[in-house]
Amino acid sequence: MDKTTSNEMWGGRFASGPSAIMEAINASIDFDKRLYREDIAGSIAHAEMLGSQGIISPADAAEIRRGLETIRTEIDEGRFAFSKAREDIHMNVEARLAELIGPAAGRLHTARSRNDQVAVDFRLFVKGAATDLDRALRALQEALLARAEEHAATVMPGFTHLQAAQPVTFGHHCLAYVEMAARDRGRVQDAIRRMDESPLGAAALAGTGFPIDRHRTAEALGFREPTRNSLDSVSDRDYALEFLAAASICATHLSRLAEEIVIWSTPQFDFVRLSDAFSTGSSIMPQKKNPDAAELVRAKTGRIAGSLVALLTIMKGLPLSYSKDMQEDKEQVFDAVDSLALALAAMTGMVSDLQVNAAKMRAAAGAGFSTATDLADWLVRELGLPFREAHHVTGRVVALAEERRVALEDLPLSDLQGVEPRIGEEIYSVLSVDASVASRTSYGGTAPDGVRAQVRAWRERLDAEG
């Protein structure tokens, strides 16, 4: 094949032929350079262990550490020249180390492989990202608790099927998301416990014959213990999958709250308003104020869930141990980490920023005969009717109110007694939205005193975490 035909086949940026394609598909430095801190930390721990075990000389170990710390500073300050020809962060660092300290750099790779090197780098990164996620979720909880306390008695409609169902309080609604965030944190904390094992020392796949101390390197890197199987150590990415699964569920929770903010901020609802800090205008309609921050949080969920599905698909057919397919794990996790961090920061900001229109919420809370269940409960409690019969009587009362176009509490007693003669004046004590929410005193209910008690309990729980 002549050069012209070759260029036409490969085309454009790959005009030089197969080698250019191989470099482009094989190199990962464009994204895995993000792991430089983890890579250097792992290398320092490994070199110091090699020195302490007498596998390399203490002098070489000290030189390696000095060179690696210099490289870290160079990258921190933007003075490091990354090379795509050197494929990845590991070889870029190692090549620069050789330039700085000479032949001693070649001793660093004793008793390890790029397989366990990338495994420890990536596990360190995911563990750090999970720890950051836990902190960000706590900040969201604190913002929600502040609003829950402020609005413990602010009445709003509770919905099922997006139809007004029963009155609740806005504080109670906020606490629902505190609970979701708590479960998100639980999943993240569980994932951290499972990933808290160091794969360093597993080498390529079978371990090493050198007398290394894996417990020492695990401790130096902040892991609880080393992994127990060298094949598993280099070949699995379930810690990344578990992180992405927890991130996807968390993002779904954020998306639900974002959707509510979008709905609540419409003129038709007008329950809340976002300041200009979290809104944008329209390029053509001057009256518009769009909840773009909430919409973008909602959209980020698709990216995060997509990263989970992508990595599941990458891993699903891989035999043990390492395959190059796993190079595709990092971009998915990096994107999910960045997307979720931004979404959480935006949601925490919006929760604190929201201006609540309590009057509009209260007016809507009584719409749709939302205290009908309170009427049915009163009939059961005070008149001894079976609930199904009380449900039937209440349905007739609702139909009457609908016909008269009045709220239940505005029906005359004579009309109520026309449906059920034993109804007395005291029925009006349960038909207002305030009376309805105040009556929901069961544990976890929407009664304002219960909401305040839950806020106090959550604050005590968070304070106990330190």
Catalytic residues: 161, 282
Cα angle: 321, vertex 41, 209; to 5 degrees: 45
Tokens representing 136 are 């960000």
Looking at the DSSP assignment, which residues form a beta bridge with residue 290? 280
Tokens representing 215 are 């417990």
In the numeric block, the tokens 């490289």 are attached to 71
d(CA 333, CA 118): 14
226: helix, coil or strand?
A: strand
**Interacting residues of 188 by C-beta distance below 8 A, sequence separation 6+:** 130, 133, 134, 137, 243, 246, 250
d(CA 221, CA 358): 51
Tell me the C-alpha to C-alpha distance, in Å, between residue 12 and each of 7, 8, 18, 25.
Answer: 8, 8, 12, 15
Amino acid occupying residue 410? D
d(CA 20, CA 5): 16
164: helix, coil or strand?
A: strand
d(CA 373, CA 425): 18
Tokens representing 105 are 């750099």
Q: What are phi and psi of 169, to 5 degrees?
A: -110, 155
Element (DSSP H or E) covering residue 273: strand 272-273
Tokens representing 137 are 């979720």
Tokens representing 326 are 């796993």
Tokens representing 58 are 């203490």
In the numeric block, the tokens 């086949």 are attached to 9
The alpha carbon of 49 is separated from its chain's Cα centroid by a whole number of angstroms, namely: 36
Helices vs strands, H then E, count in the chain: 19, 6
| CA contacts within 13 A on the Cβ side of 65 | 15
d(CA 205, CA 179): 42
d(CA 453, CA 36): 47
Check if the beta carbon of residue 341 is closer than 8 Å to that of residue 132: yes
Strands (E), 97-203: 155-160, 163-169, 197-198
